[in-house]
Amino acid sequence: MKTSILTCLCLAAFTLVSAQTTTQTCIPLIGDNAPKFTAQSTEGEIKFPENYFGKWKILLSHPADFTPVCSSEMIELAKLSKDFAELNTQLIVISTDGINSHMEWIRAMEDIKFEDGSSVKIDFPIISDVGLEVSKKYGMIQPNFSSTKDIRAVFFIDPEDKIRALFYYPATTGRNYWEIKRTLIAMQTADKNYVLTPANWNPGDDAMIPNPATKAESEKMLEKDKKDENIYSRSWFMWYKKLEK
Ligand code: BEZ
């Protein structure tokens, strides 16, 4: 009797643990080390993040190949790919479709001729995550949407391989790739100049600096920074800094 109860308990525990390991998806948070993985892509095996040492990385998931919104996204990303390269940033796309499907999809998108006669080159790797390993590590599988297809996720990973920002979008909403580029430039600008970037900031706009804790401190800061024509305030808690163009 005792043995059968013990066997039942062991079986229940095993079922629970294996159910969790097969379905669990977790979301890495800002400041975490980017989860490591090895995966097959349209450009060969990727060891992440080791293969991109010293670079920013943007990892983007999408639900499926040959679907309208995903295709429009890949085309827009391809148009901006050179800009990201100039920002020392590697783009990496991922979905749970197979490599052959990815290859055919790339060919089909590169064959499209736009009204002005132009076409695009997809010059970034697309990972095939048929086993869902990467997708689960990055919270891209969200079971109320699908247990086999990725949601639209964007991870910004810095040269130290830390997660710096993440966005999640539903399958029905194509992402804004100018916003993805703007966010990347904002973070790079903040890191380089020790500043903050205000609402709707765009490259070339003034940045902000951390606010003093009190009005009295602000007055002291005003005295000190009176000589610095690049610093100004709108209120004691809102300080701006002009950046070099
Ligand atoms: C699309 O890319 O068009 C799409 C993919 C999955 C669900 C809905 C739309």
pLDDT digits (tens, 9 = 90+) for 233-243: 999 899 999 99
Report whether 158 contacts 125 (CB < 8 A).
Answer: no
- C-alpha distance from residue 190 to each of 58, 105, 113, 224 (Å): 18, 37, 39, 22
| C-alpha–C-alpha distance, residues 233 and 236, integer Å | 7
At position 224, the amino acid (one-letter code) is K
The residue whose C-alpha atom lies closest to atom 7 belonging to ligand 1 is: 171
Closest CA to 124 of 158, 163, 76: 76
Cα(104)–Cα(125) distance, rounded to whole angstroms?
14
- Pair of tokens at residue 192: 């380089």
In this structure, the number of other CB atoms found within 10 A of the CB of residue 44 comes to 8
Burial of 110 (0-12, 13-18, 19+ CB in 10 A): middle
From 60, 70, 74, 150, mutation site for ligand 1 pocket: most ligand atoms within 8 A of C-beta: 70
Would you state the pLDDT for residue 13? 46
Q: What is the C-alpha to C-alpha distance for residues 80 and 40, in angstroms, rounded to an integer?
A: 24
Ligand 1 in reach of 74 Cβ (< 6 A): no
**pLDDT, tens only, 81-96:** 999 999 999 999 999 9
pTM over 0.75: yes
Q: What is the pLDDT of residue 2?
A: 54
Decide if 70 is catalytic.
yes
- Ligand 1: distance of its center to the CA of 173 in Å? 8
Crossing angle (nearest 10°) for helices 68-86 and 99-110: 80
Q: Which mutation among 65, 72, 73, 172 tests ligand 1's pocket best, with the greatest number of atoms within 8 A of CB?
A: 172
For every one of its 245 residues, what pLDDT tens digit does the chain have, with 9 covering 90 and above?
455 554 544 444 444 444 444 547 899 999 999 999 999 999 999 999 999 999 999 999 999 999 999 999 999 999 999 999 999 999 999 999 999 999 999 999 999 999 999 999 999 999 999 999 999 999 999 999 999 999 999 999 999 999 999 999 999 999 999 999 999 999 999 999 999 999 999 999 999 999 888 888 888 877 776 678 899 999 989 999 999 87
Do you know the residue count of the chain?
Answer: 245
